Amino acid sequence: MSGGGSKVGSMQLAADLLRDAVAARAFPGAATAIALEDAETQFTAGRYTFDGASAPVTPETIYDLASVSKVVATTAMAMLLYDHGRLDLDAEVMSQVPEFEGGDRRRRQVTFRMLLAHASGLPAYVRLFERAKTRDELLASAFSTPLEHDPGTHAVYSDIGFIILGVALERLAGEPLDKFCEREIFQPLGMSETRFCPPGEWKSRIAPAADDKKFRRRVIQGEVQDENAWVMGGVAGHAGVFSTAADVIKFARCMLAGGAPLFRPETIRLFTTRQPTPEGTSRALGWDTPSSPSQSGQFFSARSFGHLGYTGTSLWVDPERDIAVTLLTNRTWPDCSSRAIKKVRPRFHDAVMKALTGAA
């Protein structure tokens, strides 16, 4: 273990913070992996549910990544297609998804870059699953969702935009999102415990995401928590990937290594640099960047990039300091009502960065 080794080993404050958060019922359990240079540490807290008889979280516990899927799968797919000369960021989305037109001429202005930067004019979220029973029905609803703003004028984080982006990338690649990501991203990086639609034999290792009393009327364990993604069969541009903290850090290390062995360094820089427009945006292409206040805390550098997931997951990467931190929880257990993670997450990141960098 190199010079980072002693630092990644000194995480008592961060570990205590997670245990205290579990005791305060911010979430039932958590798993984290932290990388500094060539050193790494992992630790866990809590159990799968608040039931004291449920399984304890271990480094092998698998979580529903929710919107962290947007970066480890969908954005990564876009980066590879861009590297291979198959994706023109400024091409019209309608070049691949003509169904998107919907009678509004402004929709012809929407580009791949706008979808990645959450500047397409589409709304943040629509409960499409309430009226769509199949993947095709849900996509038809997504394609026809009205714009709320002129394209390129407002930054609005949009699941709908990433649903459409996922389909557009599938058509560019000529194969489904999950198949592409398994072969081109997860396997090359050794992410053997990362997958859309995890197999049944993984279920006992997957932390349950919710006890759904209204829609599916069952405990959601081993199937995607996001209802729109579930209607799509568990494979969607905005959600659907399951993984361990160790596997997420493998992806982060690729990003820290300038993209090797997947991406060109200039592609990493392009996709992780904050966009100049719309005014005030914190978004890069697919990725987010630290804003004030940020869920990344106070100490990640301005060059950092990351993403959050609704189920209580996150990944933040600081290329300036060669640091990556992923925190996986199931804060949506049992009913998505707890918002305590919004206070826990920045405090946790601050504790980690203080241990690693001596920040004060």
- Mean per-residue pLDDT of the chain: 96
Total domains in the fold of the chain = 1
3 pLDDT more than 50: no
6 pLDDT more than 60: no
Global pTM value: 0.96
Cα→Cα distances 76→68, 79, 180, 262, Å: 11, 5, 10, 9
358 pLDDT more than 90: no
pLDDT bin (cut points 50, 70, 90) of residue 76 is very high
- State pLDDT tens for residues 226-240: 999 999 999 999 999
214 pLDDT more than 90: yes
Q: Tell which residue, 288, 275, 81, has the closest CA to residue 165.
A: 81
User: Does residue 217 form part of some domain?
Assistant: no
Query: What is the rounded average pLDDT of the residues 43-48?
Result: 98
Q: What pLDDT, on a 0 to 100 scale, did the predictor assign at position 17?
A: 97
- State pLDDT tens for residues 136-166: 999 999 999 999 999 999 999 999 999 999 9
Q: Could you write out the three-class secondary structure of the chain?
A: CCCCHHHHCCCHHHHHHHHHHHHCCCCCEEEEEEEECCEEEEEEEEECCCCCCCCECCCCCEEECHHHHHHHHHHHHHHHHHHCCCCCCCCEHHHCCHHHCCCCHHHHHCEHHHHHCCCCCCCCCCCHHHCCCCHHHHHHHHHCCCCCCCCCCCCCCCHHHHHHHHHHHHHHHCCCHHHHHHHHHHCCCCCCCCEECCCHHHHHHECCCEEECCCCCEEECCCCCCHHHHHCCCCCCCCCEEECHHHHHHHHHHHHCCCCCCCCHHHHHHHHCCCCCCCCCCECCCCECCCCCCCCCCCCCCCCEEEEECCCEEEEEECCCCEEEEEEECCCCCCCCCCCHHHHHHHHHHHHHHHHHCCC
Please state, as a whole number, how many other Cβ atoms lie within 10 Å of the Cβ of residue 124: 12
2 pLDDT more than 70: no
Please state, as a whole number, how many other Cβ atoms lie within 10 Å of the Cβ of residue 101: 14
pLDDT bin (cut points 50, 70, 90) of residue 7 is low
pLDDT bin (cut points 50, 70, 90) of residue 315 is very high
pLDDT bin (cut points 50, 70, 90) of residue 1 is very low
- What lies within 8 Å, CB to CB, of 84 at 6+ separation is none
User: Does residue 142 form part of some domain?
Assistant: yes
Q: What pLDDT, on a 0 to 100 scale, did the predictor assign at position 54?
A: 98
- The upper half-sphere exposure of residue 267, i.e. CA atoms within 13 Å in the direction of its Cβ, equals 23
4 pLDDT more than 70: no
pLDDT bin (cut points 50, 70, 90) of residue 359 is confident
User: Does residue 44 form part of some domain?
Assistant: no
Alpha carbon distance 218, 237 (integer Å): 24
Cα→Cα distances 75→4, 155, 272, 286, Å: 29, 17, 10, 5
Please state, as a whole number, how many other Cβ atoms lie within 10 Å of the Cβ of residue 64: 33
User: Does residue 81 form part of some domain?
Assistant: yes
pLDDT bin (cut points 50, 70, 90) of residue 38 is confident
Residue 124 structural domain: 74-176
- State pLDDT tens for residues 164-175: 999 999 999 999
Query: What is the rounded average pLDDT of the residues 242-263?
Result: 97
- State pLDDT tens for residues 182-213: 999 999 999 999 999 999 999 999 999 999 99
Q: What pLDDT, on a 0 to 100 scale, did the predictor assign at position 103?
A: 84
User: Does residue 155 form part of some domain?
Assistant: yes
User: Does residue 360 form part of some domain?
Assistant: no
48 pLDDT more than 90: yes
Any idea of the CA torsion for 300, 258, 237, 327, to the nearest 10 degrees? -40
User: Does residue 218 form part of some domain?
Assistant: no
User: Does residue 118 form part of some domain?
Assistant: yes
- State pLDDT tens for residues 81-110: 999 999 999 999 999 999 999 889 999 999
